Structure 1
Amino acid sequence: MSTLTVPHSRADLRTPSPTGKRRRRPVRATVQKVLTTAITVVVLAVVVVPLIWLFLGSLKTQAEFLDNPAFALPENWLNFENYSRAITEGNLGQYARNSVLAVFPSLFLTLLFGVAAGFALEVMVWKGRSTVLLLFLAGIMVPGQMILLPLFTMYFRAGLTGSLWPLVITYTAIGLPLTTFMMATFFRSVPRELFEAATLDGASVIRMFFSIGIPLVSNALFTVALVQFFFIWNDLLIAMTFTNSDELRTIQVGLLNFRGQFGQIEYGPTLAAVCLNVLGTLLIYLFLNQRVMKGLTAGSVKG
């Protein structure tokens, strides 16, 4: 005959509390927080320390670079002579002007053709658009180094050497596949009902493109523009290939060829010129940072 065991007190009816798990959770959260903080500090140091070293180096004289250790502090913290020498003797202003004349026309053409191609490939319905999109994707996989020699031969035979047109054409052609693919992805998140309603109202394709398509992907347009701007502005290989004189050098090629008397490298003015270049691009990114973040998430949701 089975017996029934009755608990002697109400404490026996309670479920044992998982004290071990309650203690582990705060410890695990603390460890994760410490690791996250440590990784953030390391990444921040990797980014900030070279910038600080670059600025301090731009304040040193040539004798300090040759006689003092590499990480020694500058003797005069108000020595901004290197910046004036970089602009005057180093022709930094002329190099920056050449970069502007090569970058902004290329950027404008890349965005214009890339946005139009993305709109045509994603919004418009026509036969063979999938094949054309695959051709643009194939253009992304072609290394730029493979086409430099054939392009140089073509530009020479066309009489375009000795100008900035080879840079503009090459930058536009190289940036167009990626821009088209990204803009097609962003147009995919735009509701089709908007374009259908515009069609019913009698809007043409060009009107839909400028009045509906571009305003809806404006944040994405800023993102793509910033990505292409940094690529073109910081380019060195293409600019070295197609600039055959000092009057056509961009700022990156100019920094590479900065020399003083008797071919001696002037470290102070060179670092000052690099510091001005980095400061300009950094300010542009910080100013457009929020627009870039919005553009990166614009194509991740549907409608």
Structure 2
Amino acid sequence: MMETLEGGELCFPQLLNTSCRKPIRPRFEVMLLYILLSSISLLTVALNLLVIISISHFRQLHTPTNLLLLSLAVSDFINGLLMPVEILLIGACWFLGDFMCALFYYASFIVISASVGNMVLISVDRYVAICDPLRYPTTITKTRVKICVCLCWVFSVLYNCLILKDFLRQPNRYNSCYGECVVVVNYITGAIDFLFTFTAPITVIVVLYMRVFVVAVSQARAMRSHIVAVTLQRSVTVTAKKSERKAARTLGIVIVVFLICFCPYYYPSLAGQDTSSDASYSTFGVWLLYFNSCLNPVIYAIFYPWFRKAIKLIVTLQILQPDSCEANIL
């Protein structure tokens, strides 16, 4: 490879005047970064794949709520598969051409939007289940959930097509040299994206989960008030308080994780700046978004006992046995 005057190798030595240069970083730093990000990618793929297999295989898990978890896991699973490409963008040149560059960013934007949309649908599902349990079976049906999931994905595809329309028409429009794959979202488009992908979803999630928490606490207190025996009342009080703390903790985890993972990415929009994928803060923000896909199965699935049972059956290959899909794991 031909060395440049400023140090660093050219991505395309035959294009001396237009080729990008490979970034120069300490080898230890590069190896550590690759190991860390590769581990996140592998963990994201593995956790979400376990959720997908569990819900798809066991018939007891074919419920409206779990269909939403399945859709969330699919979007996060795809995110995990896209992470290795993002790793390559950090410390190497882009050799796959303009079309693949556009396809990669478009797919990334779609699955992130779909993931957020699924989180909103899950919060709506939990709201109806807790706040209006008598109408839940007739209101939240499998058919309606499937329609909502399809609409969520269709909206994500169309919405991000509008957000990235200029980039999709000319994928190399933001490249400063040959061998780059860069997307820039101007501050106006970024503000719109901030509204629809961050502000609106987090508002819905916070409002619904706060309502769920209030109702859960009031139900727990009502149960305690109807207990006459002192011993039983003491036992129920402890159990109810634990339930209240668990509800509060889960609510806090959902909101805090969402904010932590999305705020850095939307910082330029808040500051009225353009969002560029080659900026260091943008790279950090993108990886926090990806990490959210790793945490989603932890928040929404691993806390469920059925998921732990399903993992045991999957890891021990018992799902390969005849009629394993009829296993009782609830």
Question: TM-score, normalised on structure 2?
Answer: 0.29
Question: TM-score, normalised on structure 1?
Answer: 0.31
Q: Give the number of the structure with larger relative contact order, counting CA–CA contacts within 8 Å between residues 6 or more apart.
A: 1
